[in-house]
Structure 1
Amino acid sequence: MTPDPAASEPAPACLACDLTAGRAPLPGGVLLRAGSWVVEHCVGPLGLGTLVVKPARHVLHVADLDTAEAAELGPLLRRVSAAVTAVLAPEQVYVCLWSHAGGVPGHLHFVVQPVDRSTRVRHGAFGPRLQAAMAEAGHMPEAAEVERVCGRLRGVLGG
């Protein structure tokens, strides 16, 4: 599918674009720019060490990724998952697509989330229900904690 030229321009109210461009606070900063992709710590309540892998350009649908973006995606998700595993030693790393903002498609991003037993037990859930429970609980990691873990992740990710 040919990318929509308008899709390369940031959407008027796109948090993902604002975070990458430095127009919104991003604890930990950009961890990695790899080809057409950007890796950052999640700014939502999905736990310490949860990363976001997103295209550098504003893209709403996987079908709209260009050839280079599509080719880079699998190896990058593996690399980021391996870094999360090395730094946080979770029992599992969830990788899932999120792309809705306010109920409409938003900037495509993959969530790379370390999950351990204590988190599952605390929320009484796993998988998508765990993510929903964490979102409902609304616990945000402290910025200083995010900065520390991002420093460790950056060291493993290289760049």
Structure 2
Amino acid sequence: MADIACMACRFVHEDEPLPGGTLLRTANWVVQHSKGPLGLGTLAVMPIRHVLHVSDLTGDESAELGPLLQRTSAAVTAIMNPEQVYVCLWSHADAVPGHLHFVVQPACRSDMTRYNAYGPVLQLAMSEADRVPSEGAVEEVCTRLRAELGASG
């Protein structure tokens, strides 16, 4: 069930505009471009249902998750050509558990050099810098990612 107060639910159910829109929708999950400052090609993999904890995922949601994260990571690798793809769980908003989502982020050498960081420190540095990709750049990369996700399905 959607929680209309939840920003992620509004993105998942397309009640809130999001550059790039939904790239992939499965029976239980959606893949969309991250709205924040984690860089171009960073995707959010979110359950359609409002879920706060991994332990609350249903069997069907859990069964779909691993293959979907692999498929999403493969698409990011193909389109962004990063050195690595980070996959991590994020689920806090204002220090309170929120709609969980898995961040699938290309770790590109250019970002590591720009921020002199990698791993979680890179994500922190990018968050602090608050450089959000332009809507046009997000739309363009989402067109390519959407095609790649469709081709790998």
How high is the TM-score relative to the length of structure 2? 0.96
Per-residue deviation, residues 60-100 of structure 1 (Å, max 9, x unmatched)? 00000000000000000000000000011100000000000
Aligned: 1:142 with 2:127: no
Higher mean displacement: 138-147 or 12-21: 12-21
List gaps (5 residues or longer) in structure 1.
Answer: 1-8
The runs of 4+ residues in structure 1 deviating greater than 2 Å are 9-12
Q: How many residues align?
A: 151
RMSD, matched Cα: 0.9
Aligned: 1:106 with 2:98: yes
Give 1:12 deviation, angstroms.
4.2
**Separation of aligned partners in 1, 2:40 and 2:119:** 17
Aligned: 1:81 with 2:73: yes
Find the counterpart in structure 1 of residue 2 from structure 2.
10
Equivalent AA in structure 2 for residue 80 of structure 1: T
Give 1:11 deviation, angstroms.
2.5
Contact 2:89 2:100 in 1 (8 A): yes
**Separation of aligned partners in 1, 2:141 and 2:65:** 23
How high is the TM-score relative to the length of structure 1? 0.92
List gaps (5 residues or longer) in structure 2.
Answer: none
Find the counterpart in structure 2 of residue 32 from structure 1.
24
Contact 2:44 2:101 in 1 (8 A): yes
